[in-house]
Structure 1
Amino acid sequence: MDLIFNSGAQGAAGAAQNVPGDLIKDTTTATFVADVIEMSQKVPVIVDFWATWCGPCKTLGPALEKVVREARGAVRMVKVDVDKNQDLAAQLRIQSVPTVYAFKGGRPVDAFTGAQPESQLKAFVKKLMSGSNAGPTIDDYIAEAKRVLEEGDPQTAATIFNQILQEAPDNASAMAGLLRCLIAVGQTAQAESMLGRLAPEIARHPDITAVATALELARHAGGVGEAAELRRRLAADPDDHQARYDLALAYYAAGEVETAVDELLDLFKRDRAWNDDAARKQLVKIFEVLGFSHPLAKSGRARLSTLLFS
């Protein structure tokens, strides 16, 4: 899974000198693969990202080491000084310290950020130890790929989704993710072709129908005029509903989804019945593509409901 947690790392360089063997060790960009990726195939590995200037790291790091020692080898701990390993921190998208990752089977499976009490650290390690021989599930990989896609890396996300589909070719969520990657890089024709070849039982999956809606939106958005010209039309006539509708689609096509939602809500407020309720219908499609739990979908639905019942 792609949970990214921050937990303290070491504030003092020699804190683990008395730890037997390699139960707790420092790592670098050069040794990360051996110390974490390969080692986590055998035993869970906790990775503590820290910095010398980080106050919470100085308390969390030793507390985490204590809990790891008490696990008596059931887990390992690796420490990364982010200032000395900036490339590694960037690759793993470390935004702040302390940050703690937990790895199993070569993949991150849990994480947290910020200082934690010892009771929480013990629960974190206990959870990691349970079923320690079981690697991440397909759902974990899908969640990771979705996160990568959301963070703007469709190529890497597509690689993960393809690997999942090699193992589980009928996984609708993974297929939907791959189709979204194609849309993200502008390969809508290929996405539509793949969508049309899906088995009916997969095509009916909610994740796939949401992608179909996304493709429909992309087709419509691709046919609207220049945003600058549409804005000029609205400046001349704020009640030019067609211009506002087309501008919303242009914003959507440009990735400015929140602005597109704002324009459609404004249009609905001005004339909810315009063009056979077009603004509301388009909003519903956008919310479907975003997903029920997306913050913009939640806030947009709430604003639309307020307008509906006002």
Structure 2
Amino acid sequence: MSEPTPGMNLYGAVDLSSLATPRQTAPGGPGAPGAPGAAGGGAGAAVPGEIVVKVTAATFGETVQLSTQVPVLVDLYSARSAASGQLTPVLEKLALEYGGRFQLAQVDVDADAQIAAAFQVQSVPTVVAVVGGQPIPLFQGAYPEEQIRQVLDEVLRIAAQNGVTGVLSPGEEPAAEEPAEPPLPPLHAEALEAIERGDLDAAEAAYTRALKENPGDEEARAALLQVQLIRRVDHDDPEEVLAAAAAAAPGDVAAHLAAADVEAATGRFGAAFERLVRVVRATSGDEREQVRVRLLELFEIAGPTHPDVSPARRALASALY
């Protein structure tokens, strides 16, 4: 195997057996090991199925089965995640552009925690390929389109090496009707549309209005903090920011806040939390309060179910008291 595309991780596959329920096949029948078409059904073989699908725990077994014929790209997203709002339209565009050479399977982690747990999701969006029933972790966060193309080409190359070369033919098999998702509140929808067109000012304004109308809207609060995080890191070179923090003193608040933002924006919440707890220990007064407030904001962005949040909250309390 050649070197993977930067950003890809072809190791650490997780066990999907709890979700996949393959159909039974007669010995020597279609799909049996060694039978013709067992993997891909022949190079470029037409495979009935939609190019972009919503997947739930109830239908995920079908997705794993399909991956023996066509590579599947799993987009694990959350409506609360601004980065998901940026990434998902790009993935949908590319799925259609690639013309059925892979299926885009979209999983709402807030609604399907079982799938998120199977993939060991720690932050959203997370993108994983499934090829021949085996998961390949790819990347987290909103990647640039050109880098995603490189990742997709590498996934297709790996799939071809394993005989998974089918091409989806939408419309050949009637798709089961999905229950309609409840519409987003108007200001949430307005904010997501603004994010999709790259207007972070308008997105921030919409979420701010949503909070003014309903101060208890936790989703709007977390989304607003995510937009503000994106704005803070938007024009920074991540490598330069992290290098500057590595050379900075433990009490250099500005350097470590910037580095923690970069780590959080790229899904490395645990590293961001550990960094800021160390800064809390090294500071006092207004500087310590500034760092404490940023930590609390990052806790909200990560969400209460993130595995690093509870330990970091305990570490923060210990550092403060």
> What TM bracket, shorter-length normalisation?
0.3 to 0.5
- Structure of higher RCO (CA pairs closer than 8 Å, 6+ residues apart): 2
> TM-score if structure 1 supplies the norm length?
0.46
> TM-score if structure 2 supplies the norm length?
0.45
Higher helix content, 1 or 2:
1
